Amino acid sequence: MSDYNFGKFVWFEIKTRTPAEAQAFYTELLPWTTADMPFPGGTYTLLVAGERQIGGIAPFDDNTPAEVPPHWLSWISVEDVDATAAAVTANGGEVLAGPMDMPDMMRMAFCADAEGAPFAIMRSTTGDPPDTDSYPGIFYWNELFATDAAKAAAFYAAVFGYEVEEMDMARMGGTGTYRTLKSGGKMRGGIMQKPQPEIPSMWLPYVHVEDLDATAARATAGGAQQPMGVVKMQGMGRFTTLIDPSGAAFALVQPESEG
């Protein structure tokens, strides 16, 4: 029997119009390699950190509206894709495509939450990655920027059955309330109020790095923007947000134990 970690973010995809440029940027910036995998209609470029396949590069197809910006898409493991898709719409979200089958791989659907933040749901035919220790190159955390963080937390709790825990950020050197999502006794992600209203509602994936300052410097030298400086958060470590050359947002984190 395959092992699953329902509620876990199990895959991360860069959705882009310039896949070759994305591949060059990220493999030069991070300890990632790539591998091509046969895929219906062509090939799919996998992102690999050490021995783990962690995500992929997904070019937009010809039907993608021009106004859809490049972005990182987070995939959540669920027990029943159809039931979860129905729960998405019942709670004010939208199913953008699917549910559908990828033969011998997964059942899946592309969705958006009640504020329009995109994500995908899946049930793999082979199970989920185990909960193991992180290392440089692994996606370490995932954070939702929401217009109404309390309502967003209620949406994800209703759809995915997450347990929501609220945290006073003043205890960690920050401000406001931070909400963590838990499943299977593990923290899966967090929700925060958007610091500026013009930021779109979105999931922001954090990549574990060994040297935050050096990696951020390489990113900006490679054409990325760094809209905020380095932040130190007690209990988490040091982190910063970046915008890659195509406009997709992601974050770097150097865990406290390594900082």
Answer whether residue 203 shows pLDDT above 50.
yes
Backbone angles phi, psi at 26, to 5 degrees: -75, -35
Using the CB atoms, write b or e for 38-58: b if 16+ within 10 Å: eeeeeebbbbbbeeeebbbbb
Q: Across the chain, what does the average pLDDT equal?
A: 92
61-65, 119-123, 206-210, 218-222: segment of lowest average pLDDT: 61-65
* Residue-wise pLDDT tens digits, 77-99: 999 999 999 999 999 999 999 89
Geometric angle at alpha carbon 204, from 168 and 36, rounded to 5°:
150
Catalogue all structural domains in the chain, each as residue range(s) with its CATH number: 9-124 (3.10.180.10), 139-258 (3.10.180.10)
pLDDT at site 65:
84
Secondary structure, 3-state, 145-156: EECCHHHHHHHH
pLDDT at site 175:
59
pLDDT at site 1:
41
The whole-model pTM stands at 0.93
Kindly give the interhelix angle for 149-160 and 81-90, rounded to the nearest 10 degrees: 150
Q: Answer with the residue of higher pLDDT: 120 or 129.
A: 120
Q: What percent of the chain has pLDDT over 70?
A: 96
Answer whether residue 27 shows pLDDT above 90.
yes
Tokens of residue 113, six digits: 């939450």
First to last CA, the chain: 40
The most confident of the ranges 10-14, 164-168, 175-179 is 10-14
What count of residues does the chain have? 259
pLDDT at site 105:
87
Q: Which residue has the tokens 């890659």?
A: 244
